[in-house]
Structure 1
Amino acid sequence: MIIPPIVWTIVFAVFCAVIAIQVFYYLYFFARLAVFKKPLRETTTEHPLSVVICARDEADNLTKNLPGVLVQDYKTTHEIVLVNDNSTDEGRYIIEEFQKSFKNINHIHLTQEAKMISGKKFPLSMGIRSAKHEILLLTDADCTPASEFWMQEMQGAYSDNVEIVLGYGAYHKRPGLLNKLIRFETFHTAIQYLSYALAGKPYMGVGRNLSYKKDVFLRNKGFSSINQIPSGDDDLFINQVANAHNTAIVIDPETHTLSEPKKTWGDWMTQKYRHYTTANYYKPLHKFLLGLYSLSLFLIYPLLALSIVFFNWWIALAVYGVRLIIQAVVFYKSMKKLNEADLWPWFLFFDIWMFFYYIFTLPAIWKAPRKNWA
């Protein structure tokens, strides 16, 4: 069967349209993060602060990571709300030992499971409602602040209108390809949600490094509208309550949190499946923007290959090169800001890899999410 030349002309036209869509996202959204500068403030105020951490059977993580939270350089009144959710390990006793030296630990020991509420929304709700202060700073038991100025800098982003502050939850740099893939995917997610926030369209945050006011939580009746969904205590909640006027970002490397990445492909994919099941519940505009970007990214390389082979190789590569140059510049500047600059020499490999990544994570669309929150 001979395929008419017009078909390959159409394929090339679609390829050009896909590249145009990608260029739009890089110049309109992602470039905002690349050129972002911390707002200058004439005066700074340290607000009373409640750090909320939920843990279930995480004695080892508490031992390793909690000191980084407890020794923050923060002179103003603050507390550490630790919600020990039905743990069967020695986590309770580790927290009690820390309490002997740090009197600002508020230990909440839960011994009963919440009925009809999936994930960690119930323990997190208990921690938030028990918090003494208006500004909340959320992280996980398997995270540690990158510096002693984490609390100071995250709360410093609040102003009269700001009610939500989005931070960056990074992963430790370890040897191996899997570590680089995990860190790139984390960066790739971050460049989207941070840039969208800068564009006035915030759609998510990550619970590893997230802050909002207690009034926002209470005013929106907590997680009541998403209690039936196992995940979403961070991204879905922010998707509902964030807007162009009440959201700020903080990206200085000293404000990051650091977590240990998964060590096996299977564990990482399980984690990703759980995260992506919440995307179906985003607002329609966010789903459209995210879906269009993902679809255009997925189509680039198949259409490039077809255009090279069946249309005109040098014209196809020239069109692709426009997007590649813009991508290289935006990624370089953004990776430097998020302390991921060592990933930049690999960016073309990661870009090609995303085609396969979307295939691997496609089952998340129909896969039933897990009921646990760990």
Structure 2
Amino acid sequence: MHLIEIPGFLQIIIFSCFCAVIAIQLFYYLFFFNRLAQYKPPLKSASQEYPVSVIVCARDEAENIVKNLPGILVQQYRTTHEVIVVNDNSTDETKFLLDEFRKSFKNLNPVALIQEAKMIPGKKFPLSMGIKAAKYEVVLLTDADCVPASENWIQKMQEAYYDDKQIVLGYGAYHKRPGLLNKLIRFETFHSALQYLSYALAGKPYMGVGRNLSYKKALFFNNKGFSAINHIPGGDDDLFINMVATKDNTAIMIEPEAHTLSEPKTTFSDWQRQKTRHYTTARYYKPLHKFLLGLYSFSQVLVYPLFVAAILFYTWWIGLAVYCIRLLVQAYVWNKTMKRLNEADLFPYFLFFDIWMFFYYVLFTPALFKRPAKNWS
């Protein structure tokens, strides 16, 4: 039964396209994303604690330092560790706050920068100085506006190092606040993590987030740091990982105690600017990563237009049945992974978020073609 009659060959074309898009979506969910849903940390034959250098870059972040730095300084980690705060030419009270914290926390190591790196936009230069100043081989990165979700953050993140692992990808979540915007921001963060964590488990790591990321100093210096991407304002996290991560050297850590928490944007326009800035670096990913991410995004955009077309122009119940297969697989994966990433409260809005992704990609895809802004981020 067709709700709207059109020539038979057009019906077949529409339904075939719809089935092809659903097949692509099922491939991503079953081959990639289900890996995160079923993930079990590898069993380690021996437990080892590594000395760790935590690095935070701050420019005019006095308010965030007061609020978040104590959560880093009071970590329960028995092995030697230090906290490096790179004060990048701040003009606020950052220096004086760090001096006061230093009196109580001897493992705090402020690094003051008093000159701008004119030819290196973004925060790659201060981060490089922080890594250079680090005493220990394992560096753990976060931002000044982030706070560890627990006092075991350092412990949990370093636990992921085993065998020849040189990179640990963590989850940088956002605080749960009332309102629709908060849910949209947190869902987008979850959805991004679903991709980069699943790809890493599939042996195709392509990015990390600077809010919660760890790697070895040797990896950084053996690849000449950020020299290949110094001309790009962003990319100190995702582009660097895109360059150096392999299927053998990358691990993930998703336990809730290993998360970091940030304050989300409070207006849609601020969030849009933030996401637009982040997406401008995606054009520099490796070709395979761009293809995989692009194909997934393209198929996600086409799902609902083709679903509506299949309902209207083909046999409606067959179109609905094909859609429901995809929806059930997606719901299963999202439910499992949201629980793992401590975002389970988002699942009741599952169908809304699925439809929202159509508008999300339409809204932010143009950012891929914009020139990166030259501001510190």
TM exceeding 0.5? yes
1:351 aligns with 2:362: no
Q: Which residue of 1 aligns with 2:58?
A: 55
Q: 2:92 aligns with which of 84, 89, 100?
A: 89
Q: In the alignment, which residue of structure 1 is the partner of 2:295? A: 292
Q: Hey, what does 2:185 align to over in structure 1?
A: 182
Matched, 1:70 2:73: yes
- Report the AA paired with residue 248 of structure 2: H
Query: Is the 1:51–1:138 Cα contact (8 Å) retained in structure 2?
Result: yes
Inter-partner Cα distance in structure 1 for 2:110 and 2:33? 40
Q: Percent identity?
A: 69
Query: Over the residues paired in the alignment, what is the CA RMSD in angstroms?
Result: 1.0
Name the counterpart of 1:323.
Answer: 326
Question: 2:58·2:85 contact (CA, 8 Å) conserved in 1?
Answer: yes
Match 1:212 to one of 191, 212, 215:
215
Letter in 2 for 1:171: Y
Please state if 1:157 is matched with 2:160. Answer: yes
Q: Are the aligned partners of 1:120 and 1:372 in contact in 2 as well (CA < 8 Å)?
A: no
2:150 is paired with a residue whose SS is: coil
Q: What is the SS of the residue equivalent to 1:50?
A: strand
Instruction: State whether structure 2 residue 198 is matched by structure 1 residue 195.
Output: yes
| 2:363 corresponding residue in structure 1 | 360
Query: What is the match of residue 148 of structure 1?
Result: 151
**Correspondence for 2:119:** 116
- Distance in 2, matches of 1:366 and 1:231, equals 15
Question: In 2, distance between residues paired with 1:7 and 1:26?
Answer: 29
3-state SS of 1:137 partner: strand
Q: Displacement, 1:263?
A: 0.4
Provide structure 2 residue ranges, at least 5 long, that are not aligned to the other structure.
Answer: none
Q: In structure 1, the residue corresponding to 2:91 is in which secondary structure?
A: coil
Q: Deviations over 1:227-271 (max 9, x none)?
A: 111110000000000000000000000000000000000100001
Which of these residues, 338, 343, 352, is aligned with residue 340 of structure 1?
A: 343
State which drifts further: 43-52 or 186-195: 43-52
Distance 2:69 2:373 in 1: 27
Q: Does 1:254 align with 2:257?
A: yes
Rounded to whole Å, the distance in 1 between the matches of 2:293 and 2:366 is 17
CA-CA distance at 1:3 after TM superposition: 5.2
Q: Spell out, residue by residue over 1:302-330, the C-alpha distance to the aligned partner (whole angstroms, 9 max, x if none).
A: 00011111111111010000000000100
Query: In structure 2, how many angstroms separate the alpha carbons of the residues matched to 1:15 and 1:118?
Result: 44
Deviation at 1:39, TM superposition (A): 2.1
Distance 1:367 1:286 in 2: 19
Aligned to 2:239: 236
Q: Which 4+ runs in 1 deviate beyond 3 A?
A: none
CA separation in 2, counterparts of 1:46 and 1:83?
25
Asked whether the 8 Å contact 2:166–2:215 carries over to 1, the reply is yes
TM-score (norm 1): 0.98
Residue by residue over 1:24-51, the C-alpha shift from the partner in whole angstroms, topping out at 9 and shown as x without a partner, is 0000000000011122224311111100
Distance in 2 (alpha carbons) for counterparts of 1:23 and 1:241: 29
In the alignment, the residues of structure 2 paired with residue 86 and residue 3 of structure 1 have an alpha-carbon distance, to the nearest angstrom, of 66
Name the count of aligned residue pairs: 373
Instruction: Measure the CA separation in 1 of the matches of 2:73 and 2:368.
Output: 39
Distance in 1 (CA, whole Å) between partners of 2:104 and 2:257 is 25
Q: CA separation in 1, counterparts of 2:207 and 2:127?
A: 17
